[in-house]
Amino acid sequence: MCGIVGYVGEKRAAPLLLDGLRRLEYRGYDSAGVATLDGDHVQIVRRVGFVQNLAAAIPADMPGHTGIGHTRWATHGGVTEQNAHPHADSTNRIALAHNGIIENHALLRARLEDEGIVFRSETDTEVLAHLVSKFYAGDPVDAVRKALLLVQGTYGIAVIFAAHPGVIVAARNGSPLVVGKGDGETFLASDPHALAAYTRQVVYLEDRDIARIDQQGWTLSRLDGSDVSRVVEVLGEEWADDGRGDYSHHMLKEIREQPESLARCLRGRVVPESGGARLGGLDMDPRDIASIQRVGVLGCGTSFHAGLVGAAAMESLARIPAFAEIASEFRYRNPVIGRDDMFFAVSQSGETADTLGAVREVQVKGGRIFGVVNVVGSSIARACGKGVYVHSGPEIAVASTKAFTSQVAALLVAALSFARTRTLGPHEGKSFGDELLAVPSAVGEWLQSEPQSVMDAVELVTKGRFVFFLGRGVSHAVALEGALKLKEIAYLPCMAYPAAEMKHGPIALIDRNTPVVVIVPDDVMRDKTLSTIAEVKARGARVIVVHSAGDMHAARVADISIPVPRASTLLSPLLTVLPLQLLAYRSGLALGRDIDRPRNLAKSVTVE
């Protein structure tokens, strides 16, 4: 959704702002704009549509060595140039970009209108530009502080003042901002992707921080006026690589990166010598682990699906009662949270508003919650305080792929660590850990020799009227993930079901135009799932079967057989999901979809 960038330094700001905005494009947006300082006023250029429209409209010699930029995903007011950010005050001497929602904007707007201010947009943001202007009396930080004290809602803002060339004032409350220190230049962004190519030395603002940013760095204070300092962090190397390389799409690149992203996630965490696992970020001693009564795993979309696998592992491996729940449902059902319960919040972006809301709900009720997050320093990671980074590296395509497998792997490591403390002996632990460590290379080998049958499956599903995805246990989570991918990327109607539930109703939908994708690894549920295959085939369905390599019976009953390397049940999702990711990608491609930026979707869903 919305993104912010800022630059202060010796170079011309506009090209750097544009580059930063391009790096934020993956988040989803509908208009974009930049503002730079030009003598005694601010110069603003905004356009509806992609950053390339904005780039075409920006004069090659746009002046200014200080500037801010924004990509907007419309909330208050339609998708128009007037509503795009940055917004100026009435004197055109202040420009402001904003992520978040100002909840009391109507009241503030009415007051400002009474004072004679004429608004030029329908946005909630414009009130901030006028308020900052109203309170400006020579000190830009003071003006921003006074304006923000009147505001209810969430914000990440960047403000420039014609009277203060070489200064950006930034502030955050609920919408992330990160400041990056370069050599004689300083960068600002709502997302580390935008600045990782320029610097890896960053500081994350906390809620109610205000930063005065100049060429030399930053000075931080709090909304209440007190001073504060924050630790400078170093972005991991993987964050610098957000290009497509030789790949035609980020999604394909990210699918193919899974051997490395999985290996990164597991590195140093599985400990073969003890048969256990080490997750320093959880900071739990064996007594803490022994006292856990229940585990809840919360997330949305793909992260929820990873959570389903994680909860299954907690229960079957560590023998701790466990459940996974969609974060947006959990947060409003007044859940019972016990002292010895432990929760995980799973999120690639670390910014999903529904998941962040669930984190707060657990905390309000005195519960413990740990992040399983990809983006370092993101809101969920910070709100949880402790947790596990999954180290997938930048995931740019809207469809989550490598983050899913890393989330599953991280949760399996946590389950192994808990299980080793509570239930597993060293030999069983070691054998689980060894198998987990072997997964990245099995994933790599399969991806390298992707079977032709994936393309046969593409042919079948793209011609189908409706596609079913079936599986049982953790394979049901994989079915849900496969169906989500096919909806998002190929826009094909489909549905995932626990295989045994078909006979309780959905089987009525089956005919020869409803391809059925069945995930049937060679585990204890295999024979039962094979019976479901027989039932849907008897009603005319053509069946694509994702099965364990060497399972000849599963291959024989399939109309299209897709073998994947064998793995024990809990690890099987790391392999069975691969053909489903490619099925979605290749179906989207065949249907001419916008693979990396599917319609109506944003990468990071920061609104409820």
Closer CB to ligand AGP, residue 221 or residue 378?
A: 378
> What length does the chain have?
608
Q: Which of 182, 211, 130, 156 is nearest to 5 (CA)?
A: 156
Tokens (6 digits) for 374 = 């990809």
402 catalytic? Reply is no
Tell which positions 177-206 bind ligand AGP, by CB under 6 A: none
Using rule CB under 6 A, residue 303 touches ligand AGP = yes
**Rounded CA separation 525/471 (Å):** 9
Q: Which of 36, 125, 347, 572 binds ligand AGP (CB under 6 A)?
A: 347
Q: Nearest distance from residue 299's CB to ligand AGP, in Å?
A: 6
User: Helix, strand, coil: what percent of the chain each, to 5?
Assistant: 40, 25, 40
Closer CB to ligand AGP, residue 277 or residue 390?
A: 390
Closer CB to ligand AGP, residue 123 or residue 407?
A: 407
Among 297-305, 539-547, 568-576, 578-586, the segment contacting ligand AGP (CB under 6 A): 297-305
Bridge partners (DSSP) of residue 276 are 271
Q: Which of 71, 221, 355, 587 binds ligand AGP (CB under 6 A)?
A: 355
**Rounded CA separation 327/325 (Å):** 6
Q: Nearest distance from residue 327's CB to ligand AGP, in Å?
A: 8
Residue nearest to ligand AGP (CB): 301
Closer CB to ligand AGP, residue 136 or residue 585?
A: 585
Q: Nearest distance from residue 402's CB to ligand AGP, in Å?
A: 11
Closer CB to ligand AGP, residue 133 or residue 349?
A: 349
Q: Which of 52, 44, 69 is nearest to 190 (CA)?
A: 69
Closer CB to ligand AGP, residue 66 or residue 581?
A: 581
Among 197-205, 236-244, 245-253, 348-356, the segment contacting ligand AGP (CB under 6 A): 348-356
Closer CB to ligand AGP, residue 398 or residue 560?
A: 398
Q: Which of 133, 352, 392, 514 binds ligand AGP (CB under 6 A)?
A: 352
Q: Which of 173, 261, 348, 561 binds ligand AGP (CB under 6 A)?
A: 348
Q: Nearest distance from residue 253's CB to ligand AGP, in Å?
A: 15
The DSSP annotation for 167-232 comes to -EEEEEEBS--EEEE-SS-EEEESSGGGTTTT-SEEEEPPTTEEEEEETTEEEEEETTS-B-----
Tokens (6 digits) for 237 = 């190397």
Tell which positions 463-502 bind ligand AGP, by CB under 6 A: 488
Binding mask 387-406 for ligand AGP (x = CB under 6 A): -----------xxx------
The DSSP annotation for 125-150 comes to THHHHHHHHHH-SS-HHHHHHHHHTT
Give 111's contacts (C-beta < 8 A, 6+ positions apart).
none
Give the total of residues touching ligand AGP (CB under 6 A).
15
Closer CB to ligand AGP, residue 328 or residue 561?
A: 328
**Rounded CA separation 226/55 (Å):** 40
**Rounded CA separation 538/88 (Å):** 66
Among 163-171, 202-210, 300-308, 497-505, the segment contacting ligand AGP (CB under 6 A): 300-308
Q: Nearest distance from residue 496's CB to ligand AGP, in Å?
A: 13
Q: Nearest distance from residue 28's CB to ligand AGP, in Å?
A: 10
Binding mask 568-607 for ligand AGP (x = CB under 6 A): ------------------------------------xx--
Q: Nearest distance from residue 344's CB to ligand AGP, in Å?
A: 12
Q: Nearest distance from residue 314's CB to ligand AGP, in Å?
A: 19
CA dihedral 470→474→477→481, nearest 10 degrees, is -90
Name the 3-class secondary structure at 331: coil
Report phi then psi at 14, rounded to 5: -55, -50
Give 48's contacts (C-beta < 8 A, 6+ positions apart).
30, 31, 79, 80, 81, 84
Cβ burial of 456 (10 Å; 0-12, 13-18, 19+) is middle
Closer CB to ligand AGP, residue 509 or residue 601?
A: 601
- Under DSSP, the state recorded for 385 is -
Among 165-173, 311-319, 346-354, 588-596, the segment contacting ligand AGP (CB under 6 A): 346-354
The b/e string for 271-296 (b: 16+ C-beta within 10 A; e otherwise) is: beeebbbebebbebeeeebeebebbb
2 catalytic? Reply is yes
Residue type, 429: G
Active-site position among 2, 265, 300, 384: 2
Beta carbons of 390 and 374 less than 8 angstroms apart: yes
Active-site position among 181, 253, 402, 603: 603
> Catalytic positions, please?
2, 603
* Site for ligand AGP, rule CB under 6 A: 300-303, 347-349, 352, 355, 398-400, 488, 604-605
